[in-house]
Structure 1
Amino acid sequence: MSLADTELVVRTIADTAIENEKYFGDLDSVVGDGDFGYSLARGFEKLLEGWDDLDRTDAGTFLKRTGMVIASRIGGTSGPLWGTAFMRAGGAVAGATDLSHEQVVAMLRAAIEGIKARGQSDVGDKTLLDALVPFTDALEAGTITEAAAAARAAADATSGMVAKRGRAAYTGERSRGSVDAGATAVAVIAERISEIWQKQGASS
């Protein structure tokens, strides 16, 4: 995966977050405070405003700079979590420009560990981890298309869970029956990346 491919993935994440602001917000408002979509969109808008100025020395530096902007610009709990994910991902591939499949997986694993540590959460707590971990597992074993499908199935399955982290955790059993906004965001983003990846014919 070239530096241009890395840029394409980050740009796709940003565009998808902005385009789905209302959808992600509506999902979050069922049992959360409803600001997830708004916060995510505003943060990624800030990232795109300074897009041309981001340090592109290598993929690791680019991802770390992206994480710093997100951490400082996204409000609520999302900023630290998403910012940490990008910074940890960048740290895992420091100095690398072209990323191998193994490095991409290692990058995602580092992001996952960062989210777990920052959010004091794990798989099963009804958070974005419930889609991101299955996505990463599937990507390690197969293709982006298979990984996106795994993320969607896992995100949909969060409807049967009781939230243990975030604002939704205060609602207890009431959080069962609705999908987690963060996990669904991961699924939607994964599907978009898969779609664009195939159109661009990008090499992995």
Structure 2
Amino acid sequence: MADKLDAAWAEAWLRNSAAVVAEHRKELIDLDRAIGDADHGENLDRGFSAVVAKLDESTPETPGACFKLAAMTLMSKVGGAAGPLFGTAYLRAATSVGDAAGLDAAQVAEALAAARDGIVARGKAEVGDKTMIDAWTPAVDAAREAAGAGAGPAEVLEAAAAAAQQGAEATDPLVARKGRASYLAERSAGHRDPGAASSALLLRAAADTAGGKDTAGEGGT
């Protein structure tokens, strides 16, 4: 398995993300209908379709360039909270990795941390608020632990994806303290946060792409 993940991986991750979001579009809409405004799946599907269209027009030469393309596209094409939040995540990841041609395990872990920190800065949420941070923070912790233990970049992403899925599932019983779902108070309990669910899907796509797996068609949330 590769010691570093290059632009080809980053581009493939974004393309696979679009496929996974399209596959789980209705599921994300249904999750958001329960505690939000039912547009999360539609917005993300439109956004990642636009990212793929941009990739078809250009060939980013570094992972950071791929992340920046995704950031700019999502910010301009995705409505609601998802565009600014995911856009900021990709932009912070792009800044973290800079012009590096390939990302080693430590760089991958720190890119994920930068992405998470960008979401926190934009949304002001913390673990337990029933938001995407409940998926991202366990993912970052697992990624850093794996990188520190000598894992390769694909293994770091695998650890992050598994932790993100667990974190997303852990939002089910929580009472929302941030976002539109917080208006429901106790009624938000019993429903998975759609942002945490989509975050887990995107991180699973990253790991499967790095591991050479076909993400589309597999389970997620």
Establish whether TM, by shorter chain, passes 0.5.
yes
Match among 125, 129, 143 for residue 125 of structure 1: 129
Letter in 2 for 1:145: E
The 5 Å alignment of 1:1-204 reads 1-54=5-58, 56-142=60-146, 143=155, 144-199=157-212
- State whether residues 63 and 89 of structure 1, in contact with CA within 8 Å, keep that contact through their aligned partners in structure 2: yes
Q: Give the distance between the partners of 2:204 and 2:91, measured in 1 at CA.
A: 23
Note the residue ranges of structure 2 that are not aligned, 5 or more in a row.
147-154, 214-221
Superimposed CA distance per residue, residues 47-73 of structure 1 (whole angstroms, 9 cap, x where no aligned partner): 112212345132222211210011000
Letter in 2 for 1:5: W
- State whether residues 160 and 176 of structure 1, in contact with CA within 8 Å, keep that contact through their aligned partners in structure 2: yes
- Aligned-residue offset at 1:196: 3.9
Change (3 A) 1:104 1:195: closer
Q: Give the distance between the partners of 1:146 and 1:93, measured in 2 at CA.
A: 20
Q: Give the distance between the partners of 2:23 and 2:96, measured in 1 at CA.
A: 29
- Aligned-residue offset at 1:139: 1.9
Query: Aligned residue for 2:219?
Result: none
TM-score by length of 2: 0.85
Note the residue ranges of structure 1 that are not aligned, 5 or more in a row.
none
Change (3 A) 1:99 1:194: closer
Change (3 A) 1:145 1:58: closer
Letter in 2 for 1:35: D
SS of the aligned residue for 2:196 comes to: helix
Q: Give the distance between the partners of 1:10 and 1:134, measured in 2 at CA.
A: 22
Instruction: Give me the identity figure in percent.
Output: 38
Q: Give the distance between the partners of 1:151 and 1:113, measured in 2 at CA.
A: 15
Letter in 2 for 1:175: S
TM-score by length of 1: 0.91
Q: Give the distance between the partners of 2:57 and 2:84, measured in 1 at CA.
A: 22
- State whether residues 54 and 62 of structure 1, in contact with CA within 8 Å, keep that contact through their aligned partners in structure 2: no
